[in-house]
Structure formats: C-alpha cells, structure tokens
Amino acid sequence: MTGDRDIKHMKWWGWGVDGVAFHHHDKPAFAPFVKEAVHLDLSTAQAVVPPELESLPVPVPKLTDAFAAQLVEVVGADHVHTDTLDRIVHTYGKSLRDLVRLRRAVIPRIPDVVLYPADEEQVRAIVDLAVAEDAVIIPFGGGTNISGSLEPPADETRPVLSVDLGRMNKVLDIDAESGLARIQAGTLGPDLEEQLGARGWTMGHFPDSFTHSTVGGWVATRSSGMQSDKYGDIADITRGLRLVVPGDVCVLRPLPSTATGPSVREMVLGSEGRLGIITEVTVQVHRLPEQRVIIGYLFPSWEAGLAAMQEIAASDAAPIVTRVSDANETKFSFSTSKAKPGLNLSGKIQKGLFTVLEKRGWDMSKVCLSFIGYEGAKSHVAYEKKLVKAIVGRHGGIVVGTGPGRLYDQKKFDTPYLRDFLLDRGAAGDVSETAAPWSRLMEVYDNTVAAAQRAYEEIGHPGWIMCHLSHSYHSGACLYFTFAFVHGEEDPLGEYDVVKSAIQQSFVDHGGTLSHHHAVGTEHSRWLEQDISAPGVAMINGVLGTIDPGRNFNPEKITGH
C-alpha cells in the first residue's frame, strides 16, 4: 500500500498497461507476414510467461537510516518507496535491452529508493540532501526511454535515488494571449492534452510514447512528435523552463527568441537528467484547429515517396504530418489491418485497388504507403491538400483517402505492444532512427538496410528491417527504422548488439545523426564523438562538469563520463 498509488506506471516487464496486449485474431494477414519476415510460426510459437517479480535478485537498499529519515522528512513517508516493484519499475526504460534483461533477471544495479516529490521545493531539498550525501540522482518521468538513459551505472557504489516526478502533473497556467502553457514536468501526455483540451488548447506534441511519457522527459531527451512539421520538435516548443541544480534553480523565462550567448535552454534540452531535475516547462500551445485530417497516399516506389516529401518541404505547402513507409513497412501495415471494409485498405478494397494499379504498371511489391496531415480552417485544409495533391501526382502517387489515415491516427501509439508480443515468442525487435540531409537519405537508407542484412547473416538468423520517413524539414528528414529477428536463447543481447551497432554505424558513416529523437543515453554514447566531433563532446562535458562536478546527476549518460 503506497501513498503514490495514483501514479500510473507501465508493466514492470513490458510496455503499456496491464491487461492490454497485441493480438492478431482479427488480422488474418499478420501470421503469414511474420512467418515470411522472420521465419516465426505464430501458430506453434509458445509465449513465455511474464517472470515472477519475487524471483528477481533484489538487494537490500543501500541507504543509511539517517539519510532515509532525512528523505522522509522532505517528501513524507508515503512518498519514499523501497519496495521491489517500485525499485524495479525505476531501474530501466523500455528498450529491447531493458526488457530482455528484466525477463532474464539481469539487474546489476537497482535504485535504492524511489522518491515522489510534490513540488519544486521538495525537489530542491532532495537535490541538496543527495549532493551532501554524495548520492546519485536519476530523474524519472514516464519511463519510456529506449536509449538507456534511466539505468544506474552497474558498478555504482553510492546510494541511488530515483526521483519520480509523477505527482507533479498539472498544467499550472495558460497565457492565452501568448499561446504559452506552464506545465509541471511530470505531466503525462494524455493528462496534459486533457487539461489543455478542456480549455480549447493543444500542445500538438505526439511522440509514439505519448501515452506513457512526460513533458519533462520529452525536454530531457529532445523528443519529436508526429506533428512536428507544424508544431516543431520539443526544442522548438519549449520556450521556458525551471531546472533544479545543487543549491539553486536555473530559471529560463518564456521567450519567443533571444540572443543571450550560447543557449542555456538548448543545454538543458537533451541533458537527460545530467544537469539537474527539470520541474517545470513553459511550452507553446495552439488553439484546437477547426479541422484536422490525415490522408493516405500510395507511391509506386520508395524513391518516388521520398522525392515527393522533399518537394513538399521545399514548396509553399505546410502540412502538419509528412510520412512515407518503404515497401517493407507498407507490407507490415497491410498485414496488421483488420478485415473490416471501408475503414482501411485491407481485404477486397485493397485487392481491387491493387488490380487497378497493376494495370497502370505499378510493381505492387514496391508500393509505399504515405500519410500526410492537415490542420486549420476548413478552407486552409482544402488549400494545403490541393498544393500537396499536385506534388504527389507529379511523383506518380495517388490519394487513397482518409480511411487509412484515420486508422493510423487511432493506432499510432499501439506499436510497442506488438514488440512485447513478439519478444514473448522469441523475436527481438527494436527501433533506431536518424536524420540526414535530403541528398543523403537514399544513401543512409540503402546502406543501413544492407548493414542490417549483413548483421543478420553474421548472427545466423533471418531478420527484417523496415523504415519510414517522418518529420520533414527544409534541409532533410528523419528516417525511422524498425528491425526484428528471432534471437537465439544463449545470447540475445549479444545478437541484438551486432544488429543495432551495424545500423547505428551506418547512420554516422553516411551523413546521419546517431538519433533524431531518442536521445543518447548509454545506448548511443559510443557514436557521439563520430557525430559531433571531439571538441563537441568536450563542450558538453564542460557544461556537465560545471554544474555537477561530483557526478551526482545520472552519471555515464550522453558522454559516458
């Protein structure tokens, strides 16, 4: 029984809420697809049972009574937790590496205590106590991170405090004139959109993790949402913030722009808890639009789809979403469609359309599904759609209507459940994403697919890789890869490393960044210098070392230091 039972946590061993899971009973094309893609037979595959929490090797908290008493004095006994469940939930994020380790009871270091402060004053007291005690502080939002940003160093000998911001979950204030909302860092996506929506506003930030991630986490990891083409990445949306540092609070007032030297706002963005604890963020919010629509398109090839997105980015058009899947991801999308006519492209409608397109000369094994979104006054949506339609047409694409778009919009946050479903059945899957200039996207794509295939050969398992373009910018775009393979029993993470490393190395070798919106953490740390050069890493270490000379704040993340 805890005083923090209102804080929603995900399943400790997987994604999402208890009782919700992926199934494919109503998706007739899914099992054949999986069999072809990774040679996994779902009709015979046995699902492993989730592990028993009690079976995990959890040591006694490394916490002196005096220090524990001080912490209780700050946040109250109801908000200081040392039970196994709370500690396990706060040990990892939700990367494949995290899920495999939990399922295999690999927990070299678990936080000693989980604290739930009620406000910034309590956060300040925790920080000052922890620094005085030479303890380690790891801020925790929703726990969705997949870059290893949350785990304590394996060999950490000092007490480790996980500071969960979950009680700080309010939209504090909306400045309606400026379109600025002051939001507590621990507010989850749905909670903040509900509080904003009730007053006619939206933040417009919808990362795939939306349902379980927080605004503080988005800032700390440089998140992007599916509507970033209009609303911007979190770095654009964030106009002000408060960050608790030892003995002080870094206060950045909300400003539309400023010329105050090296940007401190852009130092806190992406700082992954290494500079302190973000307690409050002031973000841009927008009036709910009169109309919002996501439209599906098909392109005869990946190249055509990319070229269309590039032309849209350079044009007068300004859609809110631009997304195009490669042929593999398109096949995957169709395989997860339900057999319900009218709503999507499955079944008879899809067949009929494909017959028509084949007659036009399309190679249906290369077809690529695309979604483009629009918002604003109805007349504005109509204007934008017209601009985009002309560009899509120039690249051989066709409009397939709002059905697939509506489905995508409804289901976009469900994909992580699918990863658990596959992992339960022996298939390891994860995602890696990059961003690169338009001129290098095909190079990044081709080389990354080839690198993954070589890696699958190396580990001796058939594997799958698929990709979509999302988040278009004037000068380039994000390529988001999903990969999966049936892992061996002996060393699944060793095999995963081979594949994941090949993909990451291909990114930086071909003009891409190590991550577009999943941060550095520990997972991508070893590519940082290749991405931003040694002096760049030195500059980051300079900031970190100044604020946190004792390495009390989430050590080893970003720079490995």
Is 84 labelled a binding residue? no
- DSSP letter at 61 equals P
User: Should residue 123 be labelled a site residue for a second copy when binding is judged by CB under 8 A?
Assistant: no
Segment 130 to 189, residues that bind a second copy, using CB under 8 A = 175-180
Residue reference for tokens 């997972």: 523
User: Should residue 291 be labelled a site residue for a second copy when binding is judged by CB under 8 A?
Assistant: no
Is 276 labelled a binding residue? yes
Closest CA to 37 of 466, 505, 506, 529: 466
What counts of helices (H) and strands (E) characterise the chain?
19, 18
CA torsion 273-275-281-282 (nearest 10°) is: -150
Q: Is 408 an active-site residue?
A: no
Closest CA to 127 of 270, 275, 240: 275
Instruction: Find the catalytic residue in 116, 456, 480, 496.
Output: 480
The binder of a second copy chosen from 193, 272, 280, 329 (CB under 8 A): 272
Between 12 and 218, name the residue whose CB sits nearer to a second copy: 218
Least CB distance to a second copy at residue 260 (A):
6
Segment 471 to 530, residues that bind a second copy, using CB under 8 A = 471, 473-478, 511-520, 528
Segment 422 to 461, residues that bind a second copy, using CB under 8 A = 435-440
Return the SS3 of 338. coil
- DSSP letter at 1 equals -
Least CB distance to a second copy at residue 163 (A):
18
The binder of a second copy chosen from 80, 243, 304, 423 (CB under 8 A): 243
Least CB distance to a second copy at residue 44 (A):
40
Is 222 labelled a binding residue? yes
User: Should residue 75 be labelled a site residue for a second copy when binding is judged by CB under 8 A?
Assistant: no
Alpha-carbon Rg for the chain in angstroms? 23
The binder of a second copy chosen from 211, 221, 301, 333 (CB under 8 A): 221
How, if at all, do strands 291-299 and 368-376 pair?
Answer: antiparallel
User: Should residue 383 be labelled a site residue for a second copy when binding is judged by CB under 8 A?
Assistant: yes
Phi, psi of 165 (to 5 degrees): -85, 10
Between 224 and 335, name the residue whose CB sits nearer to a second copy: 224
Phi, psi of 162 (to 5 degrees): -95, 125
* 20-28, 34-42, 484-492, 540-548 -> range binding a second copy (CB under 8 A): 540-548
The binder of a second copy chosen from 253, 351, 360, 394 (CB under 8 A): 253
Phi, psi of 431 (to 5 degrees): -130, 150
* 249-257, 292-300, 399-407, 483-491 -> range binding a second copy (CB under 8 A): 249-257
Q: How far apart are CA 358 and CA 367, in angstroms?
A: 10
DSSP string, 192-218: HHHHHHTTTEE-----TTGGG-BHHHH
Is 101 labelled a binding residue? no
Q: Which residues are annotated as a binding site for FAD?
A: 208-214, 221-224, 272-278
| Enzyme catalytic residues | 480
